[in-house]
Amino acid sequence: QVQLVESGGGLVQAGGSLRLSCAASRRTFSSYVMGWFRQAPGKEREFVASIAWSLGSTFYANSVKGRFTISRDNAKNTVYLQMNSLKPEDTAVYYCAARPSIATMTWDYWGQGTQVTVSS
């Protein structure tokens, strides 16, 4: 079982930056893929970004490409989401997730979410 705890959310003006953190309760296996999702009020949860833990390969939603950067710190068992040039439409609850490998499509583990609010 892997527990994920997000932090770093808050209120920021449009054009500003925030960095979200996702700490895993234990060392994840090297095959794991870590991801960030978000859910705005009245909308479905959507994919934001992912990173393969061992390879470091990344993937982004078109809506955040060039503005957000996902990274990981193996020593701290932590994944980050650096968010720059924030827009009001980025306002959402952001969730960290993990799945066992690139080959599996089901995200087995989820954090509790952290609120990000971008004011115009």
pLDDT of residue 28: 63
Give the whole-angstrom CA distance, residue 94 versus residue 7.
10
Contact 24, 4 (CB under 8 A): yes
Give 31-49 as a 3 state SS string.
CCEEEEEEECCCCCCEEEE
Tens digit of pLDDT for each residue in 27-76?
767 789 999 999 999 999 999 999 998 888 999 999 999 999 999 998 88
Tens digit of pLDDT for each residue in 83-120?
999 999 999 999 999 998 888 889 999 999 999 999 99
How many residues make up the chain in this entry?
120
C-alpha dihedral (12, 59, 2, 9), degrees to nearest 10 = 0
Across 5-10, average pLDDT:
96
